[in-house]
Chains A and B, each alone.
Chain A
Amino acid sequence: MLYNIELMINGLLVGALYALIALGFVLIYKASDIINFAQGEFVMFAGFILAASLQTYGLPLYVAILLAVVGMTVLALLVNRLVLQYMIGRGVVSVIMATIGLAAFLQGTAGLFFGIDTKDVPLPISEEPIFLYDILLSPLELYAALAAFVCIGLVSWFFIKSRIGIALRAIADDQQVSLAMGIDVKLYFAISWCVAGLIAVVGGIVWGHLLGVDTQLALVGLKVFPVVILGGLDSIIGAIVGGLIIGVVESLAAGFLDPIVGGGTKDFTPYVLMIIVLMFRPYGLFGKADIERV
């Protein structure tokens, strides 16, 4: 029983981190209908900037974070301006392929400039495990989950209450009407990419510290898809709930199924769950169902 609870709690903590990455994805999708297959690569790139400035150049943590923020903002703006702006309104195949191309490009670039060996993102957090009623918790994951929830809260507030967020929601609702109302749609697309870049910095700190930074770090991006599809592509609540569910399912699968079938179930159980949910709720748990007309 204790083991179960431990698995559940660990799953929830990891799930919060998935939710964090999923948030960046949902944000871009909501604003511009662009499906970002390169979200994991964004996280990886931020991780690389952090690791390089911390490890190779020995800069203090806050400078490294600042550098990563600047770097990711520039990257997001460039990507938006040079490639994805042209993809707005194009077929779904083009959009998906453009971001897949972007993902491959970022992987190659990161490997070329930062090297392919694994780097660390050292953080001033103790490794000493905490015991809570005999349940083993790693402080690292606790802090990470805390950071994730703070980010999620901030982004939700930003989206629901701030002026920019309201504009973004208006664009998501109807692009043409927003244009007519004087919203600079291109500017707000750029903003949504920047926010996704900033979320990637947080993801880069947390995931880079947990897994180590190399090109494999981008694989966390693959976990985003079951999360967002489970929750519904255009729902922030969905991203959070989906992240937590996927985290728990994954953790339980690793705990119970792996000993039976011999490993690796963690990588695909989220997808199996996702397919089952898709069969019954094609727009996810919280997604908005499209009404299509000819």
Chain B
Amino acid sequence: MLNRETATFKRTYAEDMALYPAPLPRYTILVLLFLFFVVVPLVSSEYTLGVANLLGIASFGALGLNLLVGYTGQISIGHAAFMSVGAYTSAMLVSIMGLHWGLGMIAGGAAAAFLGMLVGIPSLRIKGLYLAISTLAAQLIIEWGINHLPFIPGGAGGSIYMDKPSIFGFQLKTNLSFYYFIYVVLVIGIVFALNLFRTHLGRSMIAVRDRDIAAEIIGINIFKVKLTAFGIASFYAGITGVLYTYYFGVANYEAFTLVVSIQFLAMIIIGGLGSVLGSVFGAVFISLLPIVLDIFLRRVGGEFMEESQIAAITTQIQLMLYGGLIMLFLVVEPDGLRKLWRNITDYFKVWPFPYL
């Protein structure tokens, strides 16, 4: 029943292709869905739900970046810029032109995907560091563009305010309603990503990552694959930006600076490159870090420091922790939290016979 498979017992291709061939993961998914969509909303306070919402949005963004960096091997330091493209597109369309929020969301994703593919074009000729730097250029150019292009409103602060979206006349005002909204989007994103790597396209992406020249020789159009990867990843980024905008009710480029791009890179490194589960782990880890740090500093530092002093050092310690953790994981556990998780599950897989 709950035991795991000991060998391959599949008789049809459909069975072999199933997303979760063994029974245990299927039940786990059901339990997780029940947990996230019934139990968590029931028992959580307003504050916890707020945190959960941020975790959900960050997971979605990290997932998108992982599709590009972890699965296709094309490093991007401009992820946050594509988020800002999505955020501003949707905010402008919805709050200024009065478009429906759903269309605004898709338009945000599409605009980000378009720009992402544009930035991905140099990937035809360049790769590795050169590509990383041209995405860095994209980040800086997009940031500048939002600030200076005349058709993007928002004044000096660059903010566009908008109303919260409403579904069938029910306005998403509370954290709870947003919780469902965000997590439904996240589940769609995760299912899409999981299935993507069972298709021809997904497999080609992995082949391009592992050895691009060999991939080209066996007949993969690597330019097309790379561009599609850029498009999909930027679409995810755009939707992430839209989610942030809908959730906070404001689009502001300061939420999407270079530092944020680096945070998302940190998420996928710490979570595990080339893993859907790892993206979620990393996003949760990195997003919880400042919250936990803040609580910790207030508890411990509150004894002998002023409030303002704590606030001043929190950002510095945060940066140190991000940087330190990235380096630590790269040196000690390059496969990230996902590998640690797998070590634990592998241990229990054969428990109580560890010598098997």
Contact = CB atoms under 8 A, between A and B. Distances in A.
B320 A108 contact: yes
Interface in A227-284: 229, 233, 261-265, 267-268, 271-272, 274-275, 278-279, 282
A105 B148 contact: no
Contact of A261 (B148, B214, B317): B148
B320 A112 contact: yes
A136 interface: no
B327 A83 contact: yes
A53 interface: no
Interface stretch (A86-94, A139-147, A157-165, A194-202): A86-94
B7 interface: no
Interface string B299-314: 0000000000000110
A101 B316 contact: no
A86 B317 CA distance: 25
B265 A100 contact: yes
A155 interface: no
Given A92-B128, A275-B137, 12 more contacts: A90-B330, A92-B129, A101-B324, A104-B322, A105-B322, A105-B323, A108-B323, A225-B133, A226-B137, A229-B130, A271-B140, A278-B126
Contacts of B77: 100
A111 interface: yes
B158 interface: no
A294 interface: yes
A213 interface: no
Contacts of A226: 133, 137
Interface residues of A, number: 48
Contacts of B148: 261-264
Contact of B213 (A112, A263, A294): A294
B285 to A, nearest CB: 14
A43 interface: no
B125 to A, nearest CB: 5
Given A93-B273, A96-B132, A112 B316 contact: yes
B141 interface: yes
A98 B326 contact: yes
A87 B331 CA distance: 8
A144 to B, nearest CB: 25
28 contacts: A83-B330, A83-B331, A86-B331, A90-B330, A91-B73, A92-B129, A93-B69, A97-B269, A98-B331, A100-B265, A101-B322, A102-B323, A105-B322, A107-B316, A108-B318, A108-B321, A109-B316, A112-B317, A112-B320, A222-B136, A229-B133, A268-B141, A268-B144, A274-B134, A275-B137, A278-B122, A282-B126, A293-B213
